[in-house]
Amino acid sequence: MVNLMSGDSFHPPVRTLMGPGPSDMNPRVLAAMGRPIIGHLDPAFVGMMDQMKVLLQYAFQTENELTLPVSAPGSAGMETCFVNLVEPGDKVVVCINGVFGQRMKENVERCGATPVVVEDDWGQPVDAQKLDSTLAAHPDARLVAFVHAETSTGACSDVKTLTQVAHAHDCLVIVDSVTGLGGSELRVDDWGVDAIYSGTQKCLSCTPGLSPVSFGPRAVERIQSRKHKVQSWFLDLNLIMGYWGSGGGKRAYHHTAPINALYALHEALVLLHEEGLENAWARHRHHHEALKAGLEAMGLALLVEEPHRLPQLNAVKVPEGVDEAAVRTRLLQRYGLEIGAGLGPLAGRIWRIGLMGFACNAKNVRLCLHALESVLTEMGAPVERGAALPAAERIYGVTA
């Protein structure tokens, strides 16, 4: 029975978020979100939206006019791409190497289209050769969908090459970069990406509930020449563009934007711009090196092979005989530290340790290595004691 006494405000416990997202938010972003609300058609708000678009274009490295945050979480950003670009009867090649590729396939089916699957093992990147031969066998395919940064495994796929392969077969691409944006190299224009969606609660360290998307000229053309109405009214870009002003001219009411969350995203993007995108990518790489050094010194192994590892999402193999859920519970209860579990076939076999955005820092690397070593030792797991922190400190240049 839930107690509903007056005054039962919710005060969240203090946590350190090193799971697959959300990540800890910078106090500046939290403060932005708590600022008083103004109207979604207020001239001051519209000015903020204009600036937001430029900041998002910077984060995506694109000049795409149709670049905006969808007013709902990453899953809705995914659906925005599919319902606008896929028509009933289309054939869509979907590359699956984890949970989010599977979800893309679900989206294709629910659009009344036919998915053709290119499958790779979980933990592997998408194989460009396989994509190429699949496309050769299906010359009527119109779209290719794949995940840049697989949040369920920590594998990074080669967006540039996969996009080239798709284009060579006259297909547009839809790219999932929910966990990529702000954490790993991503160049929408240079790489020719046609449509991309992301999330705000990963390497942007903003509140969840928004999904930045960007559409290139060929994608916009395809949307504008659709034969069928978009099946979702809420996610119909023809209507959303009217509010975000991508057609120029007066902004028309479509839905009420999540105003305070947009304040927060604006501030998170200002922070990214202050740091510099390439500096942010390098920071993720640097702390990943320290974490990896510590984990390996402890005797733990990463799931993904070296060249394909995402620095911001580290899938760590659970040692034989260890109850992975009990480890996570103890980390949370004693250290306030959240790390993630495995999903699907990797449930029980990996932990997912995030180093995302504001949460990607040396203090968190140190806390995580110390806490994990303590808990694993306590539970009798075969870990090397006292080696993890010194190994990480060597990466940080601390050799004392």
Q: DSSP readout, 175-243?
A: EE-TTTTTTS---HHHHT-SEEE--SSSTT---SS-EEEEE-HHHHHHHHT-SS--S-STT-HHHHHHH
Question: Cα(348)–Cα(353) distance, rounded to whole angstroms?
Answer: 14
Pattern 26-55, binding to a second copy, x per CB under 8 A? --x-xxxxxxxxxxx-xxxx--x-xx-xxx
Q: Considering only 25-33, 90-98, 300-308, 367-375, which stretch makes contact with a second copy by CB under 8 A?
A: 25-33
Nearer to a second copy, 26 or 157 (CB): 26
Interior CA angle at 134 toward 128 and 135, to 5°?
A: 90
Nearer to a second copy, 14 or 400 (CB): 14
Reduced DSSP (H G I as helix, E B as strand, rest coil) percent helix, strand, coil of the chain, to 5 = 45, 15, 40
Residues 361-380 that bind a second copy (CB under 8 A): none
Give the pair of three-digit tokens for residue 37. 């609300």
Nearer to a second copy, 125 or 180 (CB): 180
Q: Considering only 9-17, 185-193, 296-304, 374-382, which stretch makes contact with a second copy by CB under 8 A?
A: 9-17
Q: DSSP readout, 112-126?
A: T-EEEEEE--BTBPP
The answer to whether the beta carbons of residues 219 and 85 sit under 8 Å apart is yes
Q: Does the annotation list 352 as a binding residue?
A: yes
Helical packing angle, 277-298 and 388-395, nearest 10°: 150
Q: Which of 63, 89, 110, 326 binds a second copy (CB under 8 A)?
A: 110
Min separation Cβ 202 and a second copy, Å: 9
Does the footprint of a second copy cover residue 163 (CB under 8 A)? no
Pattern 62-101, binding to a second copy, x per CB under 8 A? ---------xxxxxx-xx----------------------
Q: In what order do the strands lie in the sheet with 340-341?
A: 313-317, 350-354, 340-341
Min separation Cβ 382 and a second copy, Å: 29
The answer to whether the beta carbons of residues 148 and 182 sit under 8 Å apart is no
Min separation Cβ 210 and a second copy, Å: 8
Nearer to a second copy, 49 or 118 (CB): 49
Q: Which of 93, 143, 149, 230 binds a second copy (CB under 8 A)?
A: 230
Return the SS3 of 350: strand
Does the footprint of a second copy cover residue 306 (CB under 8 A)? no
Continuous segment of H or E residues that includes residue 149: strand 149-150
Does the footprint of a second copy cover residue 334 (CB under 8 A)? no
Question: Cα(128)–Cα(144) distance, rounded to whole angstroms?
Answer: 12
Min separation Cβ 151 and a second copy, Å: 10
Return the SS3 of 342: coil
Does the footprint of a second copy cover residue 7 (CB under 8 A)? yes
Min separation Cβ 82 and a second copy, Å: 9
Nearer to a second copy, 47 or 139 (CB): 47
Number of residues that bind a second copy (CB under 8 A): 86
Q: Which of 84, 124, 207, 364 binds a second copy (CB under 8 A)?
A: 207
Q: Which of 46, 116, 332, 379 binds a second copy (CB under 8 A)?
A: 332
Does the footprint of a second copy cover residue 199 (CB under 8 A)? yes
Question: Cα(85)–Cα(196) distance, rounded to whole angstroms?
Answer: 11
Nearest C-alpha neighbor of 214 from the set 51, 50, 61 = 61
Q: What are phi and psi of 177, to 5 degrees?
A: -125, 45
Pattern 237-276, binding to a second copy, x per CB under 8 A? ----------------xxxxxxxxx-xx-xx--x--xx--
Binding site, annotated residues for substrate:
352
